[in-house]
Amino acid sequence: MSIGSLIDSRDRSGRAAIRRTAEAVASGLIHASGWAAILILAAIASFLLLNASRALGEVGLLTMLTGDSWYPTSDNEQFGFVPMMAGTAWVTIVALLTAVPLGVASAVYISEFATGRVKEISKSIIEFMAAIPSVVYGLLGIALLVPAVKDILGLDTGLTAFTAGVVVGIMVLPTIVSISEDALHAVPDALRQGSAALGNTRWQTVLKVVLPAASSGIFAATMLGMGRAIGETMVVLMLAGNAGIIPGDPFVSVRTMPGTIAAEMGEVVRGGLHYSILFATGLVLFAVTFAINLAADLVLERQRKRWGR
């Protein structure tokens, strides 16, 4: 070994030491931020629980979850969540019925058929949709969809769970498209080739091999979209009509859980029962969306293991 290469290798080992230190610092930071995320989550949950404790003690979780009327300010106060849970459910169902077919179709188009510029542009449009503030969607809904729903369906008002659900569906579309597209992209090309070599058209291949292979990811996309739809506040506040009845179908005005919290929080006495009840509502929302996101993550993890990516 020449002296030149000795120096060179010493220099390299010095650089290696720096790199090792940098790696240790980086991995320390990543671990720390992971723990920080868990701590923040725990802090949010305890904070909600603390503020909801009066409601949980005086009214009780079961009474809230099963109560069918919501009269928070009358003399004979009623704090039943059922009307707003049903309202949230209708908005979410309509949102998913809008977003899942449209979103999966877009993802299939982008992943399996579009190429070059068209593909890039489609992806950019979807990303841009995610960046539009929800209040803008709300305005568009009021201007375009509310009168259309009222006239076409012949309703007394266009402010319905259906109207809000369609707009929320368009809002969660980017989530569904991008996660479904990831799932389709993760399906190995070898499967597409195997199917083509058996005399299948692109369409047959997509329907019979690619979509089934990506189904768990598409399911996860649906779950994440559902989590977002349940929590969406501004659009439902603007479009759902906020009536406190228990809706039997989506073509009536409804109130939702996030909408109720946002609408009433400004008028309650801090520390009062109604205040605490709204925190209990938030706690239920938090628990439901947390569970949904966790389930989606588990499904995605299984998919990653399956394809080794």
Partner 1 sequence: MVNANTGSFELEDVSVAYGNEIAVAGVSMTVPPQAVTALIGPSGCGKSTLLRCLNRMNDEIGGVTVGGTIRLDGDDIYAKRVDSVELRIRVGQVFQKPNPFPMSVYDNIAYGPRTHGVRNRAELDAIVEHSLTRAALWGEAKSFLKKHAFELSGGQQQRLCIARALATEPEVLLMDEPASALDPISTQQIEDTIAELKDSVTIVIVTHNMQQAARISDRTAFMLRETMEAPAALIEVGDTRTMFTNPSDPRTEAYITGRFG
Given the rule CB under 8 A, which residues bind partner 1? 115, 188, 190-201, 204, 208-209, 212-213, 306
The number of residues in the chain equals 309
> What is the Cα–Cα distance from 47 to 70, expressed in whole angstroms?
24
Q: How far is the CB of 301 from partner 1 (least distance, A)?
A: 17
> What is the Cα–Cα distance from 258 to 87, expressed in whole angstroms?
10
Listed in order, strand segments (DSSP E) in 3-147 are 70-71, 78-79
Q: ∠ at Cα 212 (209, 218), nearest 5°? A: 135
Q: How far is the CB of 192 from partner 1 (least distance, A)?
A: 8
Nearer to partner 1, 5 or 201 (CB): 201
φ/ψ region of 282 (left if φ > 0, alpha if ψ in -120 to 50, else beta) reads alpha
CA-closest candidate to residue 188, choices 306, 19, 86, 299: 306
Q: How far is the CB of 104 from partner 1 (least distance, A)?
A: 18
> What is the Cα–Cα distance from 64 to 56, expressed in whole angstroms?
9
Two tokens, residue 268: 């309650």
Q: How far is the CB of 268 from partner 1 (least distance, A)?
A: 53
CA-closest candidate to residue 280, choices 80, 69, 86: 80
- SS3 of 216-264: HHHHHHHHHHHHHHHHCCHHHHHHCECCCCCCCCCCCCECCHHHHHHHH
DSSP helix/strand/coil, 117: helix
Nearer to partner 1, 98 or 195 (CB): 195
Nearer to partner 1, 210 or 277 (CB): 210
Nearer to partner 1, 191 or 262 (CB): 191
Q: How far is the CB of 200 from partner 1 (least distance, A)?
A: 5
Nearer to partner 1, 151 or 301 (CB): 301
> What is the Cα–Cα distance from 301 to 296, expressed in whole angstroms?
9
Residue with tokens 């439902």: 236
Q: How far is the CB of 176 from partner 1 (least distance, A)?
A: 22
Q: How far is the CB of 190 from partner 1 (least distance, A)?
A: 4
Q: ∠ at Cα 41 (135, 300), nearest 5°? A: 80
Nearer to partner 1, 35 or 113 (CB): 113
Q: How far is the CB of 300 from partner 1 (least distance, A)?
A: 16
Nearer to partner 1, 85 or 213 (CB): 213
CA-closest candidate to residue 92, choices 148, 172, 179: 172
Nearer to partner 1, 106 or 195 (CB): 195
